Amino acid sequence: MDSKNADLAGTDEQAIRALLARQFDTLCWTPGDSPDYARVLADFAHDATLYASRRPAQSQTADEFCARLERLRVDGTLATFHERMMGATVQVFGNVAVALAACEMTENEHTKTREVSGFLLLKDDGRWRIAAQAWDMAREGLPIPPALGG
């Protein structure tokens, strides 16, 4: 890769890492607070598809995902929620990229879980957006990989 393309890939990787960190940082709240769902949704491409860890796999839109979180926040099931990105790997090729990012979640100030999300990203009008996201929970026999902060 020549130095110009390497510089562009580096800039793209930095932009994607910032997008991922923003996603995790934005989905946090304490009692009386509400996350900025508009900020979360702004990073998704139109009609992006998300797949949670539950099986059988079921697709959902980013709007449906945020609406579910809001219901859990309002009904008190998730009175507090905090996500912390542990690490990420990013590969960029032109206007497409893939990333794996691990995060630690703290629910209701004491229940901690960890997961890895896989992201398919696309660059459109000079901006990276999430086209699809899927995630799975870490558990016994499936730890967070060291490359992702595990």
Contact 148, 100 (CB under 8 A): yes
For the residues 109-135, what does the mean pLDDT come to? 97
Contact 118, 90 (CB under 8 A): no
For the residues 116-125, what does the mean pLDDT come to? 97
Residue 15: enclosing H or E segment and its boundaries? helix 3-26
**Amino acid, res. 16:** I
For the residues 70-83, what does the mean pLDDT come to? 96
Q: For each of the domains in the chain, give its residue range(s) and CATH number, in order of start.
A: 3-139 (3.10.450.50)
On the question of pLDDT at 2 being above 50, the answer is no
% of the chain at pLDDT higher than 90: 89
How does strand 59-61 pair with strand 81-93?
unpaired
For the residues 85-103, what does the mean pLDDT come to? 97
Give the bridge partners for 51, in sequence order. Answer: 59, 134
pLDDT of residue 20: 97
- The two tokens of residue 139 are 């558990």
Q: Residue for token digits 């910032």?
A: 18
Q: Name the band, by pLDDT with cuts 50, 70 and 90, for residue 9.
A: low
Q: Name the band, by pLDDT with cuts 50, 70 and 90, for residue 62.
A: very high
On the question of pLDDT at 129 being above 80, the answer is yes
More confident call, 3 vs 105: 105
